[in-house]
């Protein structure tokens, strides 16, 4: 039944956290970074996210099941004639749904939502090891024009 149910993209609620964290952890990089058995830090972070009107943690739901998540952030700025940009982070699609077009639909949703918000640029970074993801974003019209630097504190 799940496979045929319609897909709904909506803001995440606290009740979605276990499913979101399970998806964050079910990933070659996420496996070492996440703690799905201890939701405490995620509950605190979700409170910070809901208090910030520029943050949008979204879920894709099929039937009653959370099958995808992403975070869309709107960032005002001075450069590019005062452009607001959006940043997409934490994109995950449930293993059962990969290759089925959900990722495309979800990113297209984020791009359209960014356009409605008046953003002039959508950006994201992807670990250099995720070569499949790079092809996916290029197919959706993104350009790999930048190097993404990170410093862990």
Q: Using CA atoms, how far apart are residues 131 and 41, in angstroms rounded to an integer?
A: 30
127 touches a copy of itself (CB under 8 A): yes
Q: Using CA atoms, how far apart are residues 64 and 8, in angstroms rounded to an integer?
A: 10
- Residues between 15 and 34 that touch a copy of itself (CB under 8 A): 17, 20-21, 24, 30, 33-34
128 touches a copy of itself (CB under 8 A): yes
Instruction: Give the nearest distance from C-beta 1 to a copy of itself in angstroms.
Output: 28
Q: Which stretch binds a copy of itself (CB under 8 A): 3-11, 37-45, 58-66, 97-105?
A: 37-45
93 touches a copy of itself (CB under 8 A): no
Mapped onto helix, strand or coil, the DSSP state of residue 6 is coil
Is 27 within 8 Å of 21 (Cβ atoms)? no
The gap between the terminal CA atoms of the chain, to the nearest Å, is 45
Q: Which residues contact 2 (CB under 8 A, 6 or more apart)?
A: 62, 63, 65
Mapped onto helix, strand or coil, the DSSP state of residue 19 is helix
Q: Which is nearer to a copy of itself, 4 or 32 (CB)?
A: 32
Q: Which is nearer to a copy of itself, 98 or 135 (CB)?
A: 135
Is 49 within 8 Å of 100 (Cβ atoms)? no
52 touches a copy of itself (CB under 8 A): yes
* Footprint on this chain of a copy of itself (rule: CB under 8 A): 17, 20-21, 24, 30, 33-35, 41-46, 48-49, 52, 54-55, 57, 69, 71, 73, 75-84, 87, 89-90, 111, 114-115, 119-128, 134, 137-138, 140-153
């Amino acid at each position: 039944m799940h496979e045929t149910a319609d897909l709904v993209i909506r803001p995440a609620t606290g009740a979605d956290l276990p499913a979101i964290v399970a998806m964050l952890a079910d990933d070659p990089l996420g496996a070492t970074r996440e703690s799905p058995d201890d939701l405490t830090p995620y509950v605190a972070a979700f409170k910070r996210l809901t208090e910030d009107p520029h943050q949008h943690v979204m879920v894709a739901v099929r039937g009653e099941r959370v099958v995808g998540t992403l975070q869309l952030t709107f960032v005002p700025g001075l450069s590019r004639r005062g452009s607001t940009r959006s940043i997409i982070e934490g994109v995950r699609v449930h293993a059962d749904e990969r290759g089925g077009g959900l990722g495309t639909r979800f990113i297209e949703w984020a791009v359209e939502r960014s356009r409605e918000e008046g953003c002039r640029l959508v950006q994201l970074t992807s670990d250099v090891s995720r070569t499949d993801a790079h092809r996916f974003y290029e197919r959706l019209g993104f350009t790999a024009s930048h190097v993404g630097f990170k410093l862990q504190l």
